[in-house]
Structure 1
Amino acid sequence: MMPHAHAPRPVLPAIGLGTWQIKGEDAYRAVRCALEAGYRQIDTARLYGNEAQVGRALADSGIDRDQIFLTTKYAQYRPGGEERALSESIEKLGVDRVDLWLMHFPLKDPAENLAVWEWFLGAADAGRVAAAGVSNHSIEQIDALTTASGVAPAVNQVKFNPARYDPDLVAAHRDRGITLQAHSPLRQPRLDHPTLAAVAERRGATPAQVVLAWHLAHGVPVIPKSVHPERIAENYAALGLRLTTADIAEIDALGRHESSLHASGGQH
């Protein structure tokens, strides 16, 4: 097994645009709108079927490529398709590299999961991707990859929101030097939850902004999804919202009665 270079960890923008389930021209328009609103991270995946539209929006935006952090993912079902997947993603996106390439979900066989991870690391070594990471992996699965390959994923993107808050999960990623990134940040609890509504009223913000600011207070970058220009702008404005320690504690409490959270739960 060849040793791998240890590239610097990427610094993810605090708020990016997620594009799960956004198809066709809706994807193009959402990305254009997000970039105009100030977003500088766009998250897509081969499985989403919208890489070509995302790439066209990036090109048409006129924004310098180096100013945009671009993430895509490969949903591998068995080892062997990585080369084709990465080549096709890069071509559809119209770029010469991606900033972050994620294993979309873990394979059940640990040996096969390691084989795919080794290929991802090789792509990073070759400069075709700036950083390699995973999505929907548990801490146990991450530790297995790190132990076997000698390199920890730069990022683990998981379903994470107030209803699923687990301080141990946050700490486990921090202790390993891995960025925990949240997909589906606004899905649970409902945005009309009394706790979120009360904090929003106190802070002169919307419940969605409160939830996103809560993530950022915990050091968890987020990729909320929307196709509505007003919501895209609203979500991005959460960057300017600061919650108090009491606000954060109230929202933390929403996750106390959840069962132990494993990062592999909830995929997109």
Structure 2
Amino acid sequence: MPASTSVKLNTGAEKPTVGLGTWKSQPGAVEHAVEYALKNGYKSIDTAAAYQNEKEVGQGIKASGVARESFFLTTKLDNPDQGHPAEALESSLEKLGTTYLDLWLMHWPAPMTKEGGPDHSIDWLDTWKAMEKLYLENPDKLKAIGVSNFSIEFLERLLAEAKVVPAVNQIELHPSCPQLELVEFCRKKGIVVTAYSPLGSDGSPLLKNEVVNKIAAKYDVAPANVLISLQANRPGVTVLPKSVTNERILANSKIIDLTEAEIDELHAIDKTSHFRACEPNWTGFGTLGFPDAKP
């Protein structure tokens, strides 16, 4: 499967395959990263209220001088804001300095209090229904809505009652966490998957993996390019490499076409080395339906 440059959402919109991720990107550094990425060809920027850098992302967008309509912007509803999504949406728009979002995601199916504990007075499904209402009544503000960190179990519950099928499910994907069944489930339901942490983690052992380096040597690219390209070669999948370094931001945008045999070889890494960069195990919520999560 050759790598794609964009993937069509169930709304009809095109989401660029490679975007700049900003998780763990610090204020100051993230502003420059967003500005540099947009000035150098990136067409997709991803952030979240929980990252506490929406304001700086917005400053980077403004500093780039790039027209808002020329790139795809995603942010996420934070867990403590699930009881008041309308106010949270307005806050994100203000901080980002934009009048609309191309995509708004529920960050986790885990309503929480401001103090960080589980808020069992709120059902995340009711939050999704509130997001649907905002989407349907405000097409000028929301071009698409979706979810993040949703397992098959949680998607099945959502789809049983949803008026709007999520456009995207953003999940952790890399050779040590390929989530093949979840990706296939989303594909069958018309839900695009966006891969975060495609390298595995900071200082990931995948960058030194023998299989990854063998393929990198064949194509004369860095191991990171192989890991990012793996996701771009999967149908219906987009990917979010994260960096605040100019050289790496540019390098991460280089996608190569992998053979089916190479894709299978990369996914086989999970059989001997499985790990998650972001463990979906929340106090009061359990493992959120992920069968490989640690209890």
- What's the TM-score, normalizing by structure 2? 0.81
Q: Does 1:214 align with 2:225?
A: no
In the other structure, the counterpart of 2:78 is 75
- Are the aligned partners of 2:39 and 2:66 in contact in 1 as well (CA < 8 Å)? no
CA distance in 1, matches of 2:11, 2:291: 25
Deviation at 1:167, TM superposition (A): 2.5
The yes-or-no answer on 1:237 pairing with 2:254 is yes
**Is residue 2:136 matched to residue 1:121?**
no
The correspondence for 2:20, drawn from 17, 22, 47, is 17
Seq. identity, %: 36
Aligned twin of 2:3: none
- Does structure 1 residue 152 correspond to structure 2 residue 168? no
Listed as ranges, the gaps of 5+ residues in structure 2 are 1-9, 112-119, 281-288
Counterpart Cα distance in 2 of 1:263 and 1:89:
29
1:231 partner SS:
helix
In 1, the alpha carbon distance for the partners of 2:28 and 2:209 equals: 33
The structure-2 alpha-carbon separation of the partners of 1:114 and 1:227, relative to structure 1 and needing over 3 Å to count, comes to same
Amino acid at match of 1:234: A
Cα offset, 1:80, TM superposition: 2.0
Cα distance in 1 for residues equivalent to 2:63 and 2:215? 39
* Correspondence 1:177 to 2:194: no
Kindly provide the CA deviation profile for residues 116-153 of structure 1, in whole angstroms up to 9, marking residues without a partner as x: 00111112112221101000011111121121123221
**SS of equivalent residue, structure 1 residue 15:** coil
Distance in 2 of aligned mates of 1:74 and 1:21: 17
1:138: which partner in 2? 151
Matched with 1:228 is 245
SS of the counterpart of 2:55?
helix
Quick check: 1:73–1:104 contact (8 Å CA) kept in 2?
A: yes
Greater share of residues in helix: 1
Greater mean deviation of Cα atoms: 117-126 or 39-48: 117-126
Residue ranges of structure 1 left out of the alignment (5+ in a row): 1-6
Contact 2:151-2:182 at 8 Å conserved across structures:
no
Q: Which residue of 1 aligns with 2:32?
A: 29
Are 2:178 and 1:161 aligned? no
User: 1:132 and 1:65 mapped to 2: Cα distance?
Assistant: 18
Structure 2 CA distance, aligned partners of 1:131 and 1:167?
Answer: 25
Aligned residue pairs total: 258
Q: 1:99 maps to which residue? A: 102
**What is the RMSD of the two structures over their aligned residues, measured on CA atoms?**
2.3
In structure 1, the residue matched to 2:285 is none
SS in 1 for 2:57: helix
Partner Cα distance (2:164, 2:182) in 1: 19
**CA 1:263–1:99 in structure 2 vs 1: closer, same or farther (change >3 Å)?**
farther
Question: 2:198, 2:241 within 8 Å by CA — same for their partners in 1?
Answer: yes
1:166 is displaced (CA, Å) by: 3.2
Confirm or deny that 1:193 pairs with 2:204: no
CA deviations on 1:142-165 (whole Å, 9 max, x unpaired) are: 121121123221110011111111
**1:56 corresponding residue in structure 2:** 59
* Contact kept in structure 1, 2:82 and 2:122, CA below 8 Å: no
Which residue in 1 is equivalent to 2:46?
Answer: 43
Distance 1:60 1:224, change over 3 A: same
Contact 1:78 1:112 in 2 (8 A): no
Which whole-Å CA distance do the structure 2 matches of 1:9 and 1:155 have between them? 12
- Deviation of 1:263 after TM superposition, in Å, equals 5.6
TM-fit CA distance, 1:194:
0.6
Q: 1:189 and 1:11, CA in 2 relative to 1: closer, same or farther beyond 3 A? A: farther
Amino acid at match of 1:143: E
State the alpha-carbon separation in 2 of the partners of residues 29 and 81 from structure 1: 31
User: Residue 116 of structure 1 aligns to which amino acid in structure 2?
Assistant: T
Q: Deviations over 1:43-80 (max 9, x none)?
A: 00111111111111112211111111000001123642
Q: Give the TM-score normalised by structure 1.
A: 0.89
1:246 shift after superposition: 2.3
